Structure 1
Amino acid sequence: MKKYQVTISFEMGEDFNELIPPHRTYINFLINKEIIDQYVVSIDSQQVWITLNAEDAAEVEKILEKSPLARYWSYQIYELFVWDGQHYRLPAVQPN
């Protein structure tokens, strides 16, 4: 399994807000299945950043296209080589 970063730009259309609840249900499903690691949205810049696990970029596209909001998106998919952060490390040892 490879790890990908997706950068999504979106424009809010007429029924955009009505599609948010089913979209969130889909995103929560993907998080629970450990397909999505990170999901971040900025309303100010109208961008979304998703880190997810998939076999290849074609699988990433299939996952993205299933979202109810997909018709409002343009996106770029990047395969990641290195990823690191607090969540990928062992907890710090706290001597008593």
Structure 2
Amino acid sequence: MKKFQAIIHFDMDEQFMNLVPPHRTYINYLINKNIIDSYAVSMESQTVWITINAETKAEIDTYLAKSPLYKYWDYTIEELFVYDGQLYRLPSVQLN
């Protein structure tokens, strides 16, 4: 399984906020299925960053297209070569 980063830019209108709750339900489903590793949103720049596990970019397109917010998005998908962070490390040893 490969890791990809979806970088999504969006524009909001009146209906956008009404679609956020079903969108969050869908994102939570993908997180629970270990399809999404991380999900971050900036309202300042109206950008979303999603780290996704998949075999192909086409598979990611399929996942993204099922979001209720899809029509608001302009996005790119990039395959990641390295993905590292604290959650991927062994816990540090704490001596008593």
TM-score bin (small chain): over 0.9
> One-letter code of the match for 2:39?
Y
Structure 2 matches for 1:70-89, cutoff 5 A? 70-89=70-89
Matched to 2:71, the amino acid is R
State the match for 2:9 in structure 1: 9
Could you tell me how far apart the structure 1 residues matched to 2:50 and 2:34 are? Answer: 12
Aligned length: 96
- Give 1:63 deviation, angstroms: 0.4
Work out whether 1:36 is the aligned partner of 2:36. Answer: yes
Q: Which residue of 2 aligns with 1:47?
A: 47
Q: Which residue of 2 aligns with 1:24?
A: 24
Q: Would you identify which runs of 4 or more consecutive aligned residues in structure 1 move more than 4 Å?
A: none
Q: Report the RMSD for the aligned CA atoms in angstroms.
A: 0.6
Distance 1:88 1:13 in 2: 38
**What is the TM-score with the length of structure 2 in the denominator?**
0.98
- Using structure 1 for the length normalisation, give the TM-score: 0.98
Structure-2 separation of matches of 1:70 and 1:36: 16
The separation in 2 between residues aligned to 1:86 and 1:35, in whole angstroms, is 19
1:16-74 Cα deviation digits (max 9, x unpaired): 01100100000000000010000000001000000010110000001000000000000
SS at match of 2:40: strand
Per the TM alignment, residue 13 of structure 1 is displaced from its structure 2 partner at its CA by 1.8
Taking the aligned partners of 1:13 and 1:57, their CA distance within structure 2 comes to 28
